[in-house]
Chains A and B, each alone.
Chain A
């Protein structure tokens, strides 16, 4: 079991490690493009302003460019757009309040399924060792019986 725990620990730590990496140190232009692909176009179906050519998106992109050049932080810029267009303008749910469920659930799904599969492996293995133990004791017993029989036969002779 120690081995299994070690492996699951590795898997989980990889997942958490990669979640904790900081946002990159980017030039303003790349920062602008990154944010543009996080902000939804309010008049299109499931498109970000980065990919959309609608007038609203073009205006929003101009605004975004100004904000980035004013050296506002990513979080400040996100909040700026949330204030004006509502929380669903950002392409991923926020990590506060009820929306936290959206982020926690993947961790729950992962841990739950991992435990189920490790449990399955363990129980499949255990039933095997039990069987093995059973046959081993049986064999020992049979050997003992055979020995006794042999002894008895010798006595009879």
Chain B
């Protein structure tokens, strides 16, 4: 089996070299057939990388433990559905997966880019793609070969890392990796235009569409990762500002900036140079991500793909900086933005401020990632830069971005007046003020959180107001009221898709504010039949169920959640308060009668022998207000279960944002033509 995999990798390498040579020679010698054969050879690389991937997956399905990668990442009792996860669970396989995505998506791009642009730049596009793909192929063949065989074939494999046996793993790593590698596509489209001397705006449509795709995939990938962390890692969090998370976030932020400023180029032919810089930065940051992920100089909880290839990826990153900015500087004298700004109060300048804020968050995050390395090298003292730092420095800027989300879209293009803008903002501001006052009246003392909630309300009302006015004017022009809203959305899909994405960001903000500012946590150990009371929940530990398998020692606790009336326990509550705790334990005889059952929880705890590693599944009871979240820390020898319980207000809004984000992205992407044909 391993031979087939190796052969297809070598074949892919040869095809890449061939297409690189033939498109260049073909265009220089004006032999059209040679150029076309080069292009077809490039298409074939997606077949060879697919063949290599299928070979590896086939080896997993057949438990072919003679291949080292298969023996390291699966075993005979593994659920066969997880073969797909095992495929990219380690360094070698994930590189092969990246190669597969790169070759397939780049081939599709070459196939489908508009003819006008294809004509002028196809040679450069194929060349850049080939070189990048060649890098991954060579790394796979010489540095991290997934088809390396073992001399002594083991009877059973080591099994998969237990943290990866979770449904989110079917989508989180592949989407994240696909998102990062497909940044290559808009970058290549843009840089090829520069190389081939096409200084028109031909490239921006293709670049925008591919950028939205890769940005959307990366965004959803990060969100699913957050959900995975929330349900399995057992620390009650979803985003830890871990270096690996940061290196995925940074290119996403830059791409977000790009998607905003590309609109200015599309509409007003401005920011041309800046947009190229943004794509260059995004591409370089994606390479930084690859480097840090595969043996970079930082510690992270995501060490699934760590390897000794750090140096190789570092060199490739440096090479991509030199290449991207070299081409840019070479062509800079011939790049010109057409028009100049008419007024400070214009959509153009608000988008410029938006770009500035995104780049600032990116730069500060980058600084946080490299500061420990810098400190280590400069003075040999190690420091830790983790979540508290990032929350503190990035939090306020993210809040400003949210505020701008409400103001920016109401400012018209070209120029406007204060009066015009304030007219749009009066109603949202009143609502924001009302939210603030209401929170103050119900006794909230967390000023930042209250201000953040008001801002979320402000932006939401600002969007709804625009939608309302837009559809109302259509209704007045004689359209049916129930159609006017959808027709308005259909009329400018990039814009309204963008608004829907903004709403998803508001949902995300709700979840972040709720969990960051209002979370209540408590650690307890319960005997069977005992209950713990926290907030207005009573959680009763009913029984312990054993779930041992050959590779793990596991149990879960059956628990029932009751809604309580706090009057029944006022004495106990005061007692706990005096002790400085937020929960207390009740024995069976102390319970009040007739409490209503509102749910069941099954927190699960397992210890994996081969990995010397514990893994948990939190018990979660969600409502739109808050999550009751129970992490089983350990099942103690004396029969008690030790639990970390938390109330995570508004946590579910983090996950609600996901489908809304996807919907908005799809609407922004949906081509205009097809709908018109459909009518």
Interface centre among B235, B237, B382, B634 (most CB of A within 10 A): B235
Query: When the two chains form their complex, are residues B522 and A50 in contact, meaning their CB atoms are under 8 A apart?
Result: no
- Chain B contacts to A: CB under 8 angstroms: 233-237, 240, 242-243, 270, 298-301, 303, 340-345, 349, 352-353, 355-356, 359-360, 363-364, 367-368, 371, 375, 379, 381-389, 392-393, 395-397, 399-400, 445-448, 520-522, 577, 579-583, 614, 633-634
- Chain A contacts to B: CB under 8 angstroms: 3-4, 11, 14-15, 18-19, 21, 24-25, 27-30, 33, 37-38, 40, 44-48, 50-53, 68-69, 86-93, 98-99, 101-103, 105-106, 109-110, 113-114, 116-117, 120-121, 124-125, 127-128, 131
Selected contact of B392 from candidates A14, A92, A124, A128, CB within 8 Å: A92
Query: When the two chains form their complex, are residues A27 and B582 in contact, meaning their CB atoms are under 8 A apart?
Result: yes
Query: When the two chains form their complex, are residues A37 and B387 in contact, meaning their CB atoms are under 8 A apart?
Result: yes
Interface centre among B303, B448, B582 (most CB of A within 10 A): B582
Selected contact of A102 from candidates B235, B385, B395, B633, CB within 8 Å: B385
With contact pairs A18-B399, A40-B386 given, residues A109 and B300 touching in the complex (Cβ less than 8 Å)? no
Query: When the two chains form their complex, are residues A121 and B383 in contact, meaning their CB atoms are under 8 A apart?
Result: no
Residues in chain A near residue B383, CB distance under 8 A: 87-88, 93, 99, 102
With contact pairs A29-B580, A50-B235 given, residues A93 and B341 touching in the complex (Cβ less than 8 Å)? no
**Shortest CB distance B97–A (Å):** 23
Selected contact of A14 from candidates B243, B388, B396, B580, CB within 8 Å: B396
With contact pairs A4-B344, A15-B396, A51-B234 given, residues A113 and B367 touching in the complex (Cβ less than 8 Å)? no
Task: Knowing that A30-B520, A46-B240, A47-B235 touch, tell me 18 more A-B residue pairs with CB under 8 angstroms.
Answer: A18-B396, A19-B396, A37-B387, A38-B388, A45-B299, A68-B580, A88-B383, A89-B384, A91-B386, A93-B385, A98-B379, A102-B375, A103-B393, A109-B363, A109-B364, A110-B397, A113-B359, A117-B352
Residues in chain B near residue A105, CB distance under 8 A: 364, 367, 371
Docked Cα-Cα span, A14 to B237, in Å, equals 27
Query: When the two chains form their complex, are residues A109 and B353 in contact, meaning their CB atoms are under 8 A apart?
Result: no
Closest 7 interchain pairs by CB? A51-B235, A28-B580, A92-B389, A124-B341, A128-B340, A91-B386, A117-B356
Residues in chain B near residue A47, CB distance under 8 A: 235, 301
With contact pairs A91-B384, A121-B341, A125-B340 given, residues A102 and B364 touching in the complex (Cβ less than 8 Å)? no
Residues in chain B near residue A24, CB distance under 8 A: 445-446
Residues in chain A near residue B360, CB distance under 8 A: 109-110, 113-114
Selected contact of B243 from candidates A28, A38, A46, CB within 8 Å: A46
**Shortest CB distance B343–A (Å):** 7
Sampled A-B contacts (30; CB under 8 Å): A3-B344, A18-B396, A19-B396, A27-B580, A29-B581, A29-B582, A46-B243, A46-B299, A46-B300, A46-B386, A50-B236, A52-B235, A88-B382, A89-B384, A91-B384, A92-B389, A93-B371, A93-B375, A93-B383, A98-B379, A98-B381, A102-B375, A102-B383, A105-B364, A113-B356, A113-B360, A117-B355, A121-B341, A125-B340, A128-B341
Residues in chain A near residue B445, CB distance under 8 A: 24-25
**Shortest CB distance B50–A (Å):** 35
Query: When the two chains form their complex, are residues B387 and A40 in contact, meaning their CB atoms are under 8 A apart?
Result: no
Query: When the two chains form their complex, are residues A45 and B448 in contact, meaning their CB atoms are under 8 A apart?
Result: no
Which secondary structure characterizes the binding site on chain B? Answer: mixed
**Shortest CB distance B215–A (Å):** 21
With contact pairs A47-B235, A91-B389 given, residues A98 and B375 touching in the complex (Cβ less than 8 Å)? yes
Docked Cα-Cα span, A4 to B341, in Å, equals 14
Residues in chain B near residue A89, CB distance under 8 A: 384
Docked Cα-Cα span, A109 to B303, in Å, equals 30
Minimum CB distance partner of A101 in chain B: B371
Query: When the two chains form their complex, are residues A14 and B582 in contact, meaning their CB atoms are under 8 A apart?
Result: no
With contact pairs A14-B399, A109-B367 given, residues A51 and B388 touching in the complex (Cβ less than 8 Å)? no
Residues in chain A near residue B301, CB distance under 8 A: 44-47
Query: When the two chains form their complex, are residues A125 and B344 in contact, meaning their CB atoms are under 8 A apart?
Result: yes
Query: When the two chains form their complex, are residues A128 and B342 in contact, meaning their CB atoms are under 8 A apart?
Result: yes
Minimum CB distance partner of B393 in chain A: A106
**Shortest CB distance A31–B (Å):** 8
**Shortest CB distance A58–B (Å):** 9
Selected contact of A90 from candidates B234, B384, B633, CB within 8 Å: B384
Residues in chain B near residue A25, CB distance under 8 A: 445
Interface centre among B240, B371, B384, B614 (most CB of A within 10 A): B384
Residues in chain B near residue A103, CB distance under 8 A: 393
Selected contact of B384 from candidates A21, A53, A92, CB within 8 Å: A92
Residues in chain A near residue B236, CB distance under 8 A: 50-51
Interface centre among B349, B447, B577 (most CB of A within 10 A): B349
**Shortest CB distance B415–A (Å):** 10
Docked Cα-Cα span, A108 to B522, in Å, equals 39
Docked Cα-Cα span, A40 to B300, in Å, equals 12
Minimum CB distance partner of A29 in chain B: B581
Docked Cα-Cα span, A117 to B349, in Å, equals 9
Query: When the two chains form their complex, are residues B364 and A21 in contact, meaning their CB atoms are under 8 A apart?
Result: no
Docked Cα-Cα span, A33 to B396, in Å, equals 23
Query: When the two chains form their complex, are residues B340 and A131 in contact, meaning their CB atoms are under 8 A apart?
Result: yes
Residues in chain B near residue A11, CB distance under 8 A: 400
**Shortest CB distance B55–A (Å):** 33
Residues in chain A near residue B242, CB distance under 8 A: 46
Query: When the two chains form their complex, are residues B340 and A18 in contact, meaning their CB atoms are under 8 A apart?
Result: no
**Shortest CB distance A119–B (Å):** 11
Residues in chain B near residue A86, CB distance under 8 A: 382
Selected contact of B367 from candidates A19, A106, A124, CB within 8 Å: A106
Query: When the two chains form their complex, are residues A92 and B581 in contact, meaning their CB atoms are under 8 A apart?
Result: no
Residues in chain B near residue A92, CB distance under 8 A: 384-386, 388-389, 392
Docked Cα-Cα span, A38 to B386, in Å, equals 9
Selected contact of A30 from candidates B352, B356, B386, B582, CB within 8 Å: B582
Docked Cα-Cα span, A92 to B368, in Å, equals 10
Query: When the two chains form their complex, are residues A33 and B521 in contact, meaning their CB atoms are under 8 A apart?
Result: yes
Docked Cα-Cα span, A92 to B579, in Å, equals 30
**Shortest CB distance B371–A (Å):** 5
Query: When the two chains form their complex, are residues A30 and B382 in contact, meaning their CB atoms are under 8 A apart?
Result: no
Query: When the two chains form their complex, are residues B341 and A14 in contact, meaning their CB atoms are under 8 A apart?
Result: no
Docked Cα-Cα span, A120 to B446, in Å, equals 37
Residues in chain B near residue A15, CB distance under 8 A: 396-397, 400
Selected contact of A27 from candidates B299, B386, B577, CB within 8 Å: B577
Residues in chain A near residue B355, CB distance under 8 A: 117
Interface centre among B385, B395, B633 (most CB of A within 10 A): B385
**Shortest CB distance A133–B (Å):** 13
Minimum CB distance partner of B517 in chain A: A24
Query: When the two chains form their complex, are residues B395 and A18 in contact, meaning their CB atoms are under 8 A apart?
Result: yes
Docked Cα-Cα span, A38 to B341, in Å, equals 46
**Shortest CB distance B519–A (Å):** 8
Residues in chain A near residue B299, CB distance under 8 A: 45-46
Selected contact of B353 from candidates A51, A87, A88, A117, CB within 8 Å: A117
Residues in chain A near residue B234, CB distance under 8 A: 51, 53
Selected contact of A53 from candidates B352, B375, B580, B634, CB within 8 Å: B634
Query: When the two chains form their complex, are residues A113 and B303 in contact, meaning their CB atoms are under 8 A apart?
Result: no
Docked Cα-Cα span, A20 to B225, in Å, equals 33
**Shortest CB distance B601–A (Å):** 19
